[in-house]
Every structure is written in structure tokens, then in C-alpha cells.
Amino acid sequence: MSRAHPDLAPLAFLVGTWRGTGSGRYPTIEPFEYVEEAVFTPGPGKPFIAYRQRTRRAGADEPLHSESGYIRPGGPDGVELIIAQPTGIVEVHTGEIGRDEVCFRSEDVGLSPTAVEVSRVERRISVVGDTMRYRLWMAAVGQPFQVHLEAELTRV
């Protein structure tokens, strides 16, 4: 973090490479288990953290979801997140930074013409020691807002 912008100090707990496993569910799909690598990298001297993750189906050589974006400090205890997904979905979030925890709520979900319908997303990430846990909720494909993902990753 030595070259990181000072505004990133409250988000320093995210920085690093994290690997672990997660599970997903939604009323319209079969539940699934996945393996994930997530990388949070401070922009050198700039007030953002670059974020990318990729996943595979657990126990199989099958790529699942991947995404990348940026986390930006936004005002006192405020934070912004923008994410692009290869599925044609773009998320724009605002949120709050807590103690070793950050919560994001979507302000906008953008869909390319062929993307599946997603109208609302929330993401909560917490870190205790070298363990990161996150949960993701969404309202999509006509279903009410509910959990899609839960995962636990370890700093490597």
C-alpha cells in the first residue's frame, strides 16, 4: 500500500489476492458451488482500487462468472463501485465503509440488449484477519430481491 493514494486507507483491508469457495442459488436455477480468485489492487497514486474476480465450477474445469471494476472512495465513509460483467451487465453502486466491512447498493444496473434482466444488486464484503466473506443479493428475471451468492476467501 506504500504507493496507494491516502484516500484509500479506510479500504486497505480489501487489498490483496483472495482465493476460496462459494455457493450460489436462485429460484430459477440449480444451486451450485464455485471456486474463486479475487484481486483488489490500489491504483498507483490514484484514488481507486481495481477489482477483478474469476470463478470456476467446484470440482470441474468449467469457467463460471467473471467480472472486473473499480472501487472509489466517495465522500466521508462513502464509497462507489462500478463493475462490468461479460454477461452484458454493468453495476453502479454507492455504499458505506464500516470497520473491516463495505456495503454496496446499486444505484443503476445497466443491461446490454441481450443481457438477462437484473434490476437491483447489493454486495456486502467483510474481512476478519485473512478471511474475506461476501454476500450478494439481486432482483432478477422477475424474482424478488434475494441472495444469489455467499463465499469465503482467504488472503494468499
Q: Which residues bind ligand HEM (CB under 6 A)?
A: 22, 24, 26, 28-29, 32, 34, 36, 55, 64-65, 89, 116, 118, 121, 136, 138, 140-141, 148-149
Q: Looking at beta carbons only, is 4 or 140 nearer to ligand HEM?
A: 140
**114: three-class secondary structure by DSSP:** coil
Q: Looking at beta carbons only, is 46 or 65 nearer to ligand HEM?
A: 65
Q: Looking at beta carbons only, is 34 or 48 nearer to ligand HEM?
A: 34
Q: Looking at beta carbons only, is 65 or 155 nearer to ligand HEM?
A: 65
Q: Are 76 and 98 in contact (CB under 8 A)?
A: no
Q: Are 58 and 152 in contact (CB under 8 A)?
A: no
CA distance 13 to 141: 34
User: CB within 8 A of 36, min separation 6: which ones?
Assistant: 18, 19, 20, 21, 22, 53, 54, 55, 151, 153
In whole angstroms, the minimum distance from the beta carbon of 107 to ligand HEM comes to 13
Q: Are 50 and 16 in contact (CB under 8 A)?
A: no
In whole angstroms, the minimum distance from the beta carbon of 42 to ligand HEM comes to 22
In whole angstroms, the minimum distance from the beta carbon of 24 to ligand HEM comes to 5
In whole angstroms, the minimum distance from the beta carbon of 103 to ligand HEM comes to 15
